[in-house]
Amino acid sequence: MRNNKYYTIYLEWAEKIKSGEIKPGEILPSENDLTKTYKTSRETIRKALNLLAQNGFIQKVKGKGSIVLDVQKMSLPFSGLVSFKEVSEHSGMKTKTTVHEFALMKPNEFIKQQLQASPKDEVWKIVRSRNINGEEIILDKDYLLRKHVPFLSKEICEGSIYEYLEKKLKLNISFAKKEIIVEKVTDEDRKYLELDRFDHIVVVKNHVYLDDAALFQYTESRHRLDKFRFVDFARRGL
C-alpha cells in the first residue's frame, strides 16, 4: 500500500486494537520501547501513535502512556469519507444498486454553482438507488466533472464509482466538505424510494476534492429518516 515506516506501524496497531488483541483500557508499550522493537527513531513512532490518536484508537496521556480506547461500539463505517460500497461490504448487509439516470450533460445553474464549473464544462449525472435488505432506502445523486473523469459507463455506476476512480483512473480523492440537513421529500424521492408516509428525508451533501485541491464531484445522498445513521469521532480544539 504505502512504504512509509510510520504508516505500517500504524496499521499494525490499529489492527491489534480492532481485532481485540489489545483491549480497551490497556496501555501500549512506551514510545521508547517501540523505537527499540521497530529499530526506528522516536519521531517516527510518534507519527504512528498520533495517527492512532486522531482516528480514535488511543488516548495519549502525558506521564502515563497511550491508553487503548473502545473502538468496537463506534461502528466506524459511517464515519468520515466512505463510499456506499465500502460501508455495505464491512457491515455484511445484502445490498443492491439500481442506476436510474446516467447522462453527460451541460450543467444547469445549480450544478454550475456547486461544482464551480464554467459554462463549457461537461458533467456526468448519475442517479442511483440503494436497496438494503430488500428495501429501497437511499437515493444517490452524483455529479462529476468530465474534465477529471473522461469516461464513465452505466456498468461502472452499478458497482463502485470510487473504486473505478481510484484504481483505474488513479485519481486521488483527498478530502470532502460534508453537510447534513433534513429536507421535504420530493417527487423524485417518492419515485425511487419506499418512503411510506415519511414526508421528510435526510440529505447528506458532499463536495469532494482531489489531492491537488480541485473540486471534482458534488453528491447528494438522500436517506430515509428511519434508516439514517451517522457516527463520528471528534477531537476538541486541534
Residue 134 burial (10 A CB sphere; 0-12, 13-18, 19+): exposed
> Site size for a copy of itself, by CB under 8 A?
44
179 sits near a copy of itself (criterion: CB under 8 A): yes
212 sits near a copy of itself (criterion: CB under 8 A): yes
Residue where the block lists cell 522516536 = 42
47 sits near DNA (criterion: CB under 7 A): yes
- Among 87, 92, 121, residue whose Cα is nearest residue 107: 121
**Structure letter (DSSP) for residue 185:** P
Write the DSSP string, 67-134: EEP--GGG-GGGSSS--HHHHHHHHT--EEEEEEEEEEE---HHHHHHHT--TT--EEEEEEEEEETT
102 sits near a copy of itself (criterion: CB under 8 A): no
32 binds, among a copy of itself, DNA, none (CB under 5 to 8 A by kind): DNA
* Least distance CB 64 / DNA (angstroms): 5
Stretch that binds DNA, among 64-72, 94-102, 118-126, 197-205 (CB under 7 A): 64-72
* Least distance CB 79 / a copy of itself (angstroms): 8
Q: Which residues contact 80 (CB under 8 A, 6 or more apart)?
A: 232
- State the Rg of the chain over Cα: 21
Nearer to DNA, 46 or 205 (CB): 46
235 sits near DNA (criterion: CB under 7 A): no
12 binds, among a copy of itself, DNA, none (CB under 5 to 8 A by kind): none
Nearer to DNA, 40 or 95 (CB): 40
What are the residues binding a copy of itself (CB under 8 A)?
Answer: 7, 10, 43, 51, 54-56, 59, 61, 64, 67, 69, 74, 80-81, 173-182, 198, 200, 202, 209, 211-213, 225-226, 228-236, 238
